Structure 1
Amino acid sequence: MKNYCTLVFIAFLLLGMNVSAQQQPEPSLPPARIDSMLIDLNKAIVESHMPGLMISIVNRSGVIYAGGIGYSNLAQKSRVTSQTVFRFASVTKMFTALAIEKLISEGKFKLDDPIKKIAPEIPFENAWEKSNPVRVVHLLEHTAGFEDVQLGRMMAKDGQNMHGITVLEFHKNSLISRWKPGERMSYANPGYEVLGYLIEKFSGMKVNEYLKNNILLPIGMKNSAILTDNTKMQNLATAYHFNGNDYQVLPEYTLASNGAAGNLVSCADDISKYLISLLNYYQSKSGNIIPEKNAVEMDSIHSSLAAKNGLQTGYALGNAVFANNKKITFRGHEGLGEGFSSWIFYNRKNGIAYAIANNSGENNWRISQIIESFITRDLPPVLLNSSVENLDRFREFDGYYALANPKNDRWDFLQKIFNGVTVRFSNQKIILKNNRGHIDTLVHVRGNLFRIQSEIIPAFIFSKDENGTPFLQGYNTSEFFTKVAKAPIVIQQYLFYAGLLSILIALILGFVALILLLFKKINYQRFFLLALPALAGLSGLLAYRKLSITDEVNKIAFSSINATTLFIFFTSLSFGFLTIISLILLIKQWNILKNKFVKITLTFTIIMLCYLTGIFILNGWIGVRIWAL
């Protein structure tokens, strides 16, 4: 009996040792380290022009730190506390994906179900629907090929959320597949509006109600909500924009949404509860929100060509993998709204997660690096993996690759010209050089997977699509590049640069013409010939500046016909109109222009302005009616 008890004791001891070996130690921060971290963060938010910052750091067992620094309201000198509410924008998608996964776990539909099968009333266009239908997984992973939300469709004009099929009709201009669903990831908010509609259809509840009752409250997030209108929530931090000299208060807004794409507001206390739940496979007070296998499934990438060829770095079910840290890999989501920027990152293996949010819309990169350096300080360095395989088989991938998955064809048409990489095989390594001259060295890991030399996981893949065209995926989670001839791209780049140069020359010629007219050195006929190209260039610059400033501080203006949108319409139209008039005047006065330098300079300027007019017309930016996009 004594020997039996001894054996049982040893067995339990070994079992305990095995469990301990599998369970990673939970990071923690002693008070002195937290204080040191907060000092660094205080310095960072001042230098980064962030009035206030929300911070949540947890491990599996509980909260390490939940609170904030700086001000939630500068005028009132209100400090950020653990109860201060921030907008989390696109981080909402993590909660929407969880809601969808819950409905899937309840048998309401399946991850691979075609949308036409479960909701045929949804208005979308897919030229490949018979062979490559849009599925639920494509919406979750942004691989349906849809465009991101159009400029004039971002904000609700009446300050109210939309529901049912109405919101999808409102965004139908974005719900068009630009390539076969499942090929490439392209971030598209309207896809999550479709997921919101599925939540409403299969639960019988509005998105905000379903998320509140089935996710937020079970986790204990009593001070969080999915906003449904412009009403300012209690304790909500004031949104600011730093204009270079001072902080400008931004107006309250409501997204033109059913709430699924970006309407979450929360505070450090609540987000801490969510992060602990997430690390424990979405545990709640009444049990797990979804089965553990579904939680694991959410961290896998299913549908893209890259994923099917073995790459698991990119956008999964409402979360993405980030290969930035040198010790551990974080998953999570970023959110950017008007005057707010939020990040959530987690690592289940190591049992650590954190969230940050600021109220000026500034990039959180520096903040995240400070926090990660503190919470990963005691973790051992990672031994970087690389293969010893002969890589001659990758020589066929040498060449130039152009970006093939912009978020929006109208906004980002120049990315197809300028956002490309040259791939060169050298000494059993692959060298990438982008159009800005930045160089990265890729190290082979296994199969077709590569990592940047200094990163710990493979984030790049070389392969071919079903037509045999080589592609490369990597950078910024899931940028997708296809191999193309470089010469036509380079020609377009030089032409565009020449077009920009022509605007500068036109402005100079216009200024000189004005001086000459004032001193009566030229007549009005010659003055208009020299001045109209300048007016064209000035109109284009004014349209661009107005568009940029409005995009930063007042997107709601894009949603209706008003002074701002009419100004952009007429100035962009004037660019094209004045350019054409300039060309006509040049032709009419060609024979009377005696100064060869002026003749050549003016001809170059007007021809290149015509080139810019042509590409802007082709991409819909001449006389753009933003309110109607």
Structure 2
Amino acid sequence: MSAFKSKLSIKGIVFVLLFVLAGANIGGLYTTASAEASTSIQPVVESIDSLPDLNDTAELEAFIDGIMEIQMADMNIPGAVISIVKDGRSLFAKGYGYSNMDEGKPVDPEKSLFRIASTTKLFTWTAVMQLVEQGKIDLDTDVNTYLKEVKIPATYKEPITMRHLMTHTAGFEDGGVGYQITTDPEKLPVSITETLVKHRPARVMPPGEMIAYSNYGTALAGLIVEDVSGLAYNDYIQKNIFDRLGMKYATVQEPVPAELAPYAALGYARENGRYVTKPLTFEGGFRPAGSGSVSAMDMSRFMIAHLQRGRYEDAKLLEPETTSLMHSPAFQFDERLPGMNLGFYELRLNGQRIISHGGADPLFNTELYLVPDKGIGIFVSYSGGEGGAAASALSKAFFNRYFPIQESELPPVAVELEQDLEKYAGSYQFLRRNHSDIDKFYSFLAQISIGVADNRLVIGSGAEQQLFAPIGPNLFQAVGGTNQIGFRTDDSGNVTHFLMDFLSSEPLERTPLINRTMFWLPLLVLSFLVFVTILLGFIYRIRANQAMPKPERWTERLAAFTSAWALMTCAATFVIVLNMELVDRLSRITTALQVYLFMPILLVVLAVAMVLAAVWAWKKKYWTLLKRVHYTLAALAAILLSLFFYHWNLLGWQFG
């Protein structure tokens, strides 16, 4: 295994959980977990004389070539592209592998269009800021002021503003089962307005309270661009960003326009030892959140404009003041940790402040990193394979080489910080999740557990385990590393939220007991055992049952049928619902899912019948005492399982 695939540790755990979930600020006000000054470790840079020169493009190319060669072989990646800019110029751009394997067409950094998914949001946010500087949008005005047909209900006293949308603090729940994407180009184009009216998520948090990454919120911002400017979203982005910067190989149209279609990179999956072309996915009415297809060289122009205070050569994208505002923290979980800017999220790598945005769909993975203080921008995109892990590994390798740090000892901390760790232990769930629809079930397993051992917080297990030592109030640093995690507490000192610095757009909150995986799993296992024993007992006594009086015989048959049905329903839940392919899950309501949803409903009917039968069995003193207890346990297990399906929105057809 290559070195680039090691040391993912906690990041690997989190990305798996986010995949299960999938399907990822109030103006000027910094909310912090502590007013204490940060005691985090500051990176110690090696001697400047020993550092490689980033301006040495031949050396840079050899370095990137080495990484890409390993990644594409080890991570099943058929095509990739990268561009790096520095100080207002393109420093390096190169394609790897093929954009079309059947035609043997190599990736061209100038012309090959890669799907960039959520990185498209940066175009949407840039468009918003153009209208802000024109005075057509105010960041702190109720968005309903700008919307013509879509209206956001007044769930909370505070209205949602554009600043909330740009920092993902509007408070929307997440969702998408059956409608977020499509693989059928015949269904396009789709109206943004009609989509947002039809699929409106619930507001589940007051705006400005906490980050919950939202594709719906970004699509809403794109609709506001339409309603305020009078131009369709696609046309606005083309005219005011792509044309202005000379981005000839860039589009947010789906599918890509006919004149650009020959340059679009195909998506591949590895099957039976070979690459197989897969259908592209389209965002439809959610396109402001992820419909972009762009070449690496054109993304260089966009990066340079943002790094050069809004200008690319003679073209002006934004005013310098607007760019500075967009790149500044607009919401912070903790001022000692990376925060959310207006559209960009912050990262810290080797002591460098980075503003970034990634994007992923089933076939493409993209990352864009800007280092404003150094004038550096990196765009990388992969088609197929383990592109997400590859992008993370490449960025780490780049910063380790050109901005290396030496690991230093953790600073001494007050004894009381090490003695108060148990309050942080427990289960945490992502704020980005669904509450109202069938989508909720996909957060059942997407939780992170934190333990305590030897005065350290523990996340993960085995080779993936990572230890965090306290370095300040509510702030911890990885032992032997630089990653940090922070917590928020309420006025009583109880821990309420948790954030990892490498995932600043995805905070978590304490998992209530009723949502905890480890609350439900033991109960489900016990129910499973009860159902199995009921069935085995029925089979074992099948001849003896024939001699029973008819009421007793049918009461036993009810228990056996209910147990069998409950076991089949559990199996179908995990086979049909939880293991549904991501594309199927987000693009359509499958026949299998529609049929499956009858199963929990029938189970409820059977559970109620079993409860009534159990009462009757006790009243009439059927069988032995032990057998009546066993029957009652089966009835309670059926009720418990029904409550499980009810709680996780699997009871009925609850689609967003």
Aligning the two structures, in what range does the TM-score lie when normalised by the shorter sequence?
A: 0.7 to 0.9
Q: 1:359 aligns with which of 383, 391, 396?
A: 383
Task: Name the SS of the counterpart of 2:329 in structure 1.
Answer: coil
User: What amino acid is aligned across from residue 71 of structure 1 in structure 2?
Assistant: Y
Match among 172, 187, 192 for residue 146 of structure 1: 172
Higher RCO, 1 vs 2 (CA within 8 Å, ≥6 residues apart): 2
- Preserved CA contact (<8 Å) 1:327 1:382: no
**Structure 2 CA distance for aligned equivalents of residues 456 and 582 of structure 1:** 57
Gaps of 5+ in 2: 1-47, 547-552
For residues 581 and 285 of structure 2, the distance between their equivalents in structure 1, rounded to whole angstroms, comes to 18
Which position in structure 1 is the counterpart of 2:90? 63
Structure 2 vs 1, CA of residues 115 and 104 (structure 1 numbering), >3 Å: closer, same or farther? same
Give secondary structure in 2 for the equivalent of 1:151: coil
User: In the alignment, does 2:168 pair up with 1:168?
Assistant: no
Do 2:180 and 2:286's aligned partners in 1 also have CA atoms closer than 8 Å? Answer: no
Change (3 A) 1:231 1:533: farther
- In the TM superposition, what is the alpha-carbon distance from 1:394 to its structure 2 partner? 9.8
Question: Which shifted more, 103-112 or 535-544?
Answer: 535-544
One-letter identity of the residue aligned with 2:285: S
Check if 1:317 corresponds to 2:339: no
Question: What is the rounded CA distance, in whole Å, between the counterparts of 1:433 and 1:187 in structure 2?
Answer: 26
% of aligned pairs identical? Answer: 19
1:546 partnered with 2:579: no
* Maintained 8 Å contact 1:91/1:343: yes
Taking a change above 3 Å as real, the CA distance of residues 245 and 618 of structure 1, as seen in their structure-2 partners, is: farther
The equivalent of 2:496 in structure 1 is 471
Greater CA deviation, 87-96 or 576-585? 576-585
Hey, what's the Cα distance between the residues in 1 that align with 2:532 and 2:84?
A: 53
Distance 1:374 1:105 in 2: 35
C-alpha contact 2:122 2:343 (8 A) present in aligned 1: yes
- Deviation sequence 1:206-260 (CA, Å, 0-9, x none): 1111111111222222111002348783322222344676655433443232521
1:180 and 2:206 matched:
yes
Given candidates 162, 169, 186, the residue that maps to 1:136 is 162
Equivalent position of 1:533 in the other structure = 563
2:262 match: secondary structure: coil
1:116 to 137, 144, 149: 144
Q: 1:557 to 1:389 in 2, by over 3 A?
A: closer
Find the aligned partners of 2:149 and 2:494 in 1 and give their Cα distance.
Answer: 35
Please state how far the C-alpha of 1:298 moved relative to its aligned partner.
1.9
Do structure 1's residue 288 and structure 2's residue 313 form an aligned pair?
no
Q: For residue 481 of structure 1, report the CA deviation from its aligned partner.
A: 4.8
Give how far 1:201 is off.
1.8
Single out whichever of 157-166 and 312-321 deviates more from structure 2: 157-166
> Which of the numbers 89, 114, 125 marks the counterpart of 1:97?
125
Partner of 1:7: none
Structure 1 counterpart of 2:457, from 432, 447, 450? 432
1:154–1:352 Cα change, 3 Å = same
Per the alignment, do residues 69 and 393 of structure 1 end up closer, same or farther by CA in structure 2, a change over 3 Å counting? closer
Q: Match of 1:530, SS?
A: helix
Shift of 1:537: 2.5
1:493–1:375 distance in 2 versus 1, CA, 3 Å: closer
Structure 2 residue 497 is matched with structure 1 residue 497: no
Amino acid at match of 2:347: F
Q: Distance in 1 between matches of 2:633 and 2:281?
A: 46
Which one-letter code corresponds to 1:134 in the other structure? Answer: I
Verify the 8 A CA contact 1:88 1:266 in the aligned structure 2.
yes
Structure 1 pair 473/556, CA: closer, same or farther in 2 (3 Å)? closer
Query: Following the alignment from structure 2 to structure 1, what is the Cα–Cα distance between the partners of residues 119 and 295?
Result: 13
| Partner in structure 1 of residue 328 of structure 2 | 300
Q: Is 2:112 aligned against 1:84?
A: yes
C-alpha contact 1:496 1:612 (8 A) present in aligned 2 = no
Q: Which residue, out of 77, 81, 95, partners 1:50?
A: 77
> How much has 1:194 moved relative to structure 2?
1.3
8 A contact 2:116–2:294 mirrored in 1 = yes
| Deviation readout 1:516-556 (Å, 9 max, x if unpaired) | 69x97876965663354233332343244333454423346
Please list the CA deviations of residues 547-575 of structure 1 after superposition, one character each: whole Å capped at 9, or x if unmatched: 3454423346526xx62442343345455
Q: CA deviation at 1:136?
A: 0.8
Residue of structure 2 equivalent to 1:332: 356
Q: How far did 1:377 drift? A: 0.8
Q: Distance in 1 between matches of 2:506 and 2:221?
A: 23
2:22 match:
none
Alpha-carbon spacing, 1:468–1:102, altered in 2? closer, same or farther (3 Å): farther
Task: Go from structure 1 to structure 2 and tell me whether the alpha carbon gap of 1:583 and 1:81 turns closer, same or farther (over 3 Å shift).
Answer: farther
Kept in 2: contact 1:580–1:610 (CA 8 A): yes
1:441 matched residue in structure 2: 468
The 1:480/1:552 distance shift into structure 2, 3 A limit, reads: closer
Q: Distance in 2 between matches of 1:373 and 1:96?
A: 30
> Given residue 224 of structure 2, which amino acid in structure 1 is its aligned partner?
L
How far apart in 2 are the matches of 1:491 and 1:356? 37
Deviation for aligned residue 1:72:
3.0
2: CA distance, partners of 1:244 / 1:534: 36
**Inter-CA distance 375–301: structure 2 relative to 1 (3 Å threshold):** closer
Of 614, 618, 623, which residue of structure 1 is paired with 2:643? 614
In the alignment, does 2:259 pair up with 1:234? no
> Secondary structure in 2 aligned to 1:214?
helix
Greater shift, 268-277 or 410-419, is seen at 410-419
**What is the Cα deviation at residue 313 of structure 1?**
1.3
Q: Deviations over 1:166-219 (max 9, x none)?
A: 3331232x1x32121111100111111110111112211111111111112222
Q: Provide the secondary structure at the position in 2 that maps to 1:616.
A: helix
Q: 1:69 to 1:506 in 2, by over 3 A?
A: farther
- On the 8 A contact 1:208/1:228 being kept in 2, the answer is no
TM-score (norm 2): 0.76
Structure 2 SS opposite 1:153: coil
Q: State the AA in 2 paired with 1:108.
A: K
1:508/1:205 Cα in 2 relative to 1: closer, same or farther (>3 Å)? farther
> In structure 2, the residue corresponding to 1:234 is in which secondary structure?
helix
Give the Cα–Cα distance (whole angstroms) in 2 for the partners of residues 528 and 246 of structure 1.
51
Aligned counterparts, 1:187-202, within 5 A: 187-202=213-228
Q: Report the alpha carbon displacement of residue 80 of structure 1 after superposing the two structures with TM.
A: 2.7
**One-letter amino acid of the structure 1 residue matched with residue 243 of structure 2:** L
Determine the C-alpha separation between the residues in 2 that align with 1:209 and 1:273.
19
Q: Give the drift of 1:346.
A: 2.2
Question: How many Å apart are 1:406 and its aligned residue?
Answer: 3.4
Counterpart CA distance in 1 for 2:414 and 2:489 is: 17
Contact 2:527 2:638 in 1 (8 A): yes
SS of match in other structure, 2:369:
strand
Contact 2:84 2:378 survives alignment (8 Å): yes
Q: For the structure 1 residues 148 and 270, does the alpha-carbon distance in structure 2 shift closer, same or farther, using more than 3 Å as the test?
A: same
| 1:370 paired residue among 385, 394, 400 | 394
Compute the displacement of 1:295 (Å). 1.8
Query: Contact 2:337 / 2:486 at 8 angstroms: preserved in 1?
Result: no
Q: Distance in 2 between matches of 1:593 and 1:188?
A: 57
In the TM superposition, residue 88 of structure 1 has moved relative to its aligned partner by 0.9
Across the aligned residues of Structure 1 and Structure 2, the Cα RMSD in angstroms comes to 4.1
Instruction: Work out whether residues 543 and 567 of structure 1, in 8 Å CA contact, stay in contact via their aligned partners in 2.
Output: no
